[in-house]
Structure 1
Amino acid sequence: MRTFLALPLLLSLFAVSHVQAEDAPVAGAQYVELKPAFVGTVGPGPKIQYMKVDVALRANDPAAVPRIEYHDPLIRNALVSLFAHETLESVGTLEGKEELRSKALTAVREVLEEEEGKPLVDDLLFTNLVTQ
């Protein structure tokens, strides 16, 4: 009788530990916030319009973080150049913001690939994007 009671308990413990392992964050994922935020004018119009972007880079290899931080000036330069070509219309929709995020990730990875021989960054996140 005890075996019948213990079996469901063991199965439920196995199921809980299996679910917790799948929900765990990626081991070693590190975020590098690019500070200060990127602030600049947007669009060619006669009215001055601004865009502020906070960027975080995700690296799944903790050893990549110092290399990313070392190349911060080159990364910032690439992103400033990219953001300078945007308009309010291009970042005014969710699809436009996602496209800009994708372009920014590509730009950062290209810089790191050129300097380090590998992209080092697994993702780029806009933690804040405001236009005015």
Structure 2
Amino acid sequence: MTHRLLRRLFLSMLLMLSSTSVKADFAYYGLEPDIVTNYLGTSSRDLGYVRLTIELMIVDAKYLEIIEHHDPLIRATIIDIFGKQHGDRIKSLTGREEIRQMCLNAIKEQLKAETGSEIVRNLIFTKYLYQD
């Protein structure tokens, strides 16, 4: 009897918690225009280029204005990271994910230093074209 009562009490508490959970107000910010930049080719004389369409997932829509203000810093960070990559990494799926993580972490660091807040939750490549 006591076991059943405790179980019902526990389940009712879980239901209350799930109904009062905070709804996230995520937003997306698209970097426009597309980023077009060079990357290192197979030899020191070769360069390739990459064209990217990027969406940033923002933790709250209230930060959209701040992200827009820091758009040049975000773009420069991404261009700098891609400019240091070799073609093999640009072209591979695992390399692409590593670069995405590098961009995300660098942007998070810089925005945290500038604003004192965690603003960006994720970075998504919606277009990723490269050419040697």
TM-score category (smaller protein): 0.7 to 0.9
TM-score, structure 1 length as denominator?
Answer: 0.75
Q: Quote the residue 2:103 is aligned against.
A: 104
RMSD: 1.7
1:113 and 2:99 aligned: no
1:26-82 per-residue CA deviation (whole Å, 9 max, x = no partner) reads: 742211001111112221533442111111100131111111111111111111111
Letter in 2 for 1:79: I
User: Which stretches in structure 2 are left out of the alignment for 5+ residues?
Assistant: 1-22
Percent same amino acid among aligned pairs? 31
| CA distance in structure 1 between the partners assigned to 2:124 and 2:89 by the alignment | 18
1:1-132 superposed matches below 5 A: 27-44=24-41, 45=43, 46-132=45-131
| CA distance in structure 1 between the partners assigned to 2:87 and 2:78 by the alignment | 17
TM-score, structure 2 length as denominator?
Answer: 0.75
Q: Quote the residue 2:18 is aligned against.
A: none
Deviation at 1:85, TM superposition (A): 0.6
* Larger fraction in strand: 2
For this pair of structures, how many residues does the alignment match? Answer: 108
Letter in 2 for 1:55: I
Deviation at 1:131, TM superposition (A): 0.8
User: Which stretches in structure 1 are left out of the alignment for 5+ residues?
Assistant: 1-25
